[in-house]
Amino acid sequence: MRALREARALSLRDLAARSGVSAPMLSQVERGETSPTLAVAAKIAAGLGLSLSGLLRLDEAPSVAVVRAKDRRAVRRDGHRFEQLTPDLPGERASVSHHTLKPGARTGVAGDPPIHAPGSRETAVVQSGMLRLVLGDQHHDLAPGDAITFDADLPHHFENPGSDATAFIGVVTAGLRNA
């Protein structure tokens, strides 16, 4: 809970005001000195901008999900091919995908709105070829080994300006910042 609170730049007093749960009680919960009732946990979740199930899920025992290469489904469109490398699990806060772009190809269609939720961030790591991130009116050219991180809720797309195919890994994390 503390990591979530701090990721939102909230003090204990801020979360207390947003949730209706006293700062001393929040402090005890964060330190593991007490377990909140479901009603109190629901208030804390609401104060953090989460559902109760989302907050409770954070305390689940770790599990393992394997995505075999042979089981990944490739999506192809106009010289852009991508595969989701991570499973689509409820409450998942990040996704990892592998992309290839033919020379001259781009992700998305011109005029498409952002496909990522408000507050999302994306990191792209170029494996081979040349990659250009177009973010609004800015262009960022990347070479193999380069990485870039940006606000993924802004209009953007990737292009291959080179003469060889481009491969890159994309990691999108769900937003934690306040609206």
Per-residue pLDDT tens digits for 4-19: 787 778 889 999 999 9
Question: pLDDT at position 176, please?
Answer: 57
Reading the block at residue 73, the tokens are: 């489904």
3-state secondary structure of 27: helix
Sheet harboring 156-159: ordered strands across? Answer: 138-142, 131-135, 156-159
What letter does residue 115 receive in the DSSP assignment? -
Choose among 39, 38, 47: nearest CA to 1: 47
Is 166 in contact with 130 (CB distance < 8 Å)? Answer: yes
Mean pLDDT of 14-34: 91
Residue 168, classified by CB atoms within 10 Å of its CB into exposed (0-12), middle (13-18) or buried (19+), is buried
Q: How far apart are CA 69 and CA 36, in angstroms?
A: 42
Q: Does residue 30 or residue 162 have the better pLDDT? A: 162
pLDDT at res. 90: 60
Mean of pLDDT values over 30-58? 84
Which residue type sits at 122?
E
Contact between residue 128 and residue 166 where contact means Cβ atoms under 8 Å apart: yes
- Kindly report, residue by residue over 111-154, the tens digit of the pLDDT: 566 677 788 899 999 999 999 999 988 999 999 999 999 998 88
* Domains recognised in the chain with CATH numbers: 2-57 (1.10.260.40), 69-173 (2.60.120.10)
**Buried b vs exposed e over 88-104: b needs ≥16 C-beta within 10 Å?**
eeeeeeebebbbbbeee
- Per-residue pLDDT at 179 exceeds 50: no
**Tokens 């800015």 belong to residue:** 138
| CB-CB contact of 136 with 154 (8 Å) | yes
Please calculate the CA angle 59-23-47 and round it to the nearest 5 degrees: 55
- Average pLDDT (16-24) is 93
Residue 178 has pLDDT above 50, yes or no: no
Task: Say which residue, 169 or 95, is predicted with more confidence.
Answer: 169
pLDDT digits 0-9 by tens, 57-108 = 655 555 677 888 888 888 888 899 999 898 876 667 788 999 999 999 999 8
pLDDT computed for residue 112 by the predictor: 65
- For 57, the enclosing helix (H) or strand (E) is helix 52-57
Cα(69)–Cα(150) distance, integer angstroms: 28
